[in-house]
Amino acid sequence: MRLGSCILFYNNYCYLSYGWNFQRPLGRLHDIISSLDEYEVDEILIIRPVRGTNDPYWDKDIKEISNLNISTPLLFGGGIRSKRRLKDLHSLPIERVLFSSCSFGTKKDISLIEEATKVFGRQAIVGCLPYKFENDNLFFFHSRKNTFLTLTEKELELFDSLFNEVILFDCESEGFINQNTLKILERVPFKQDKLIVSGGIGRELIKKMNTKCSLAAVYIENSTLFEEQKIKSIKRYAKLN
């Protein structure tokens, strides 16, 4: 199981996010990414939290990401909603591309993902399903509509067919250590070895996932930078690698 880190990046600045409803300032992208590289995290997700249709900072953010120079594999997503934007990704030092709300339905959305698959290869296409539970009912976040909604089994199957790996992101546990219950794993029809779990992650949970599940990866959402030895100590504790 790989150990990754999620970084929220928007308007040339990085943020911490708590419970999907409160953000704190974090810092400059370049310094954060180079520190994560040094801390030997297995991969880094840079995600732009674009909610709704307004996204004025795309060009500015793409320019900043294009200046990164690191050895850790980068996964990027957030705001990729047109073929023009897909073209912009060519200049980025990224290995994989992430889609979220684009995959929820229209023919245009699916065609965009198919185009990305042609350009980057299927192994590089990752889907993201931010979710929350309400009275045991499961809801997924639709970024463009900026709301949570339900998905049918058929829609989830389509999602499964489009992506090489899928991130299941627990919105309500975000930023709170070890709060993710992993209940989601029983509620989605995906094979575990293509799943990445994030949101509410802590070292105990990582150890549990490494022994009881067969996940592709787990991403720590906020706390990777909170201490110098975090990644190494988690890898030791959870017996990763």
Partner 1 sequence: MQNLIECKKCLYKEDHPFGLTFKNGICSGCITHYEKDNLNWISIKESLEALIYKQRKLSNSYYDCLIPVKGDAEDYFVVNKLLEMDLKPLLVSVNDYFFNDIGWHNFQNLITHFDLDSLIYTPNEVIYKELVRTSLRRYMNIMLPSHLLFTSFPVHVALQRKIPLIIWGQLQSVEQVGKFSHLDQVRMSRWNRREHDLFGLEIDKLIGTGSQLNENLLDYYKYPKTGEIQRSGLIGIYLSNYLRWDPLDQNAASTKFGFKPQKNNSSFDIYERAGSSVYYGFHDLLKLKKQGYRKSTDHLVREIRHGRIKKSDAKKIQAKYKNSKVEIKDFFDWLEVEESGRNWFIQHHLSDLTNLIGINNKSFKAVDDIDKYLHQAFKAKATFIRYGKEVYL
CB of 236 to partner 1, least distance (A): 10
CB of 202 to partner 1, least distance (A): 12
Specify the residue, 32 or 188, whose C-beta has the smaller distance to partner 1: 32
Around 81, how many Cα atoms within 13 Å sit in the side-chain half-sphere? 20
CB of 23 to partner 1, least distance (A): 5
Specify the residue, 54 or 229, whose C-beta has the smaller distance to partner 1: 229
Residue with tokens 């802590």: 202
Site residues, partner 1 (CB under 8 A): 13, 15-16, 18, 21-28, 30-32, 35, 38-39, 222-223, 225-229, 232
203 contacts 224 by C-beta, under 8 angstroms: no
CB of 133 to partner 1, least distance (A): 23
Specify the residue, 35 or 117, whose C-beta has the smaller distance to partner 1: 35
144 contacts 81 by C-beta, under 8 angstroms: yes
Q: Which of 50, 30, 35 is nearest to 5 (CA)?
A: 35
Specify the residue, 35 or 164, whose C-beta has the smaller distance to partner 1: 35
Specify the residue, 198 or 222, whose C-beta has the smaller distance to partner 1: 222
Residue 120 CA to residue 70 CA, distance in Å, equals 19
CB of 83 to partner 1, least distance (A): 33
Residue with tokens 């939290």: 49
Residue by residue, DSSP assigns 84-100 as HHHHHGGGS--SEEEES
226 contacts 234 by C-beta, under 8 angstroms: no
CB of 178 to partner 1, least distance (A): 12
Specify the residue, 45 or 231, whose C-beta has the smaller distance to partner 1: 231
Give, in order, the Cα–Cα distances in Å from 77 to each of 136, 140, 214, 228.
Answer: 29, 17, 24, 27
Read off the tokens for 46: 């840079």
119 contacts 80 by C-beta, under 8 angstroms: no
